[in-house]
Amino acid sequence: MKKIAVDMDGVLANVYELYHQFHERDFGKRKLPEEIMGIPEGEAFPTIRQFIYETGFFLNVPVIEGSQEVMRKLNQQYELYIVSAATEFPKSLPEKQTWLGQHFPFISWQQMVFCGSKKVIKADIMIDDHFKNLDYFEGQTLLFTQPHNCRNNDHQHTRVDSWSAIEKLLL
């Protein structure tokens, strides 16, 4: 059975929605898509790092549309793992596990991999929104479209814009 490694933030969890909410709360307006396209998250939302380290941030992230249904199907046909570089944000570890349990109850604790660098991950397929994680991966790579990766015309990875696109590719 093929193994799939799925990133959490930006692939399952809609962190950009929280970034927008915090920015709107603090500055009174929502950033326009063209203001953040191709810009790293920390540059597009300079104050967001202070919130990422706060308790509760990762518990309140909305789910990316379509991810729950497709992940349930993938879990039935593949050896599925959630792989998150969570150790960068130490308070996120229990929150991410709780979040996954709430939104993806069919994912067991044995399918959750919280790490620092994803360079050690071995699977057949990786779905991620960051080049830094996909560039070193030895299997098939699916780049989940997010604003920070939009201006790069990289053709090394298969770009997917939605969970329905992933469903068409893998199911």
Query: Please, which residues have CB within 8 angstroms of residue 145's CB and are 6 or more apart in sequence?
Result: 129, 159, 160, 161
Q: How many CB atoms sit inside 10 A of residue 11's CB? A: 26
Spatial contact of 148 and 121, defined as CB atoms under 8 Å apart: no
Query: Out of 9, 26, 128, 135, which one is annotated catalytic?
Result: 9
Catalytic residue at 26?
Answer: no
Query: Out of 7, 124, 129, 135, which one is annotated catalytic?
Result: 7
Cα(75)–Cα(16) distance, integer angstroms? 25
Catalytic residue at 129?
Answer: no
User: Which residues are annotated as catalytic?
Assistant: 7, 9
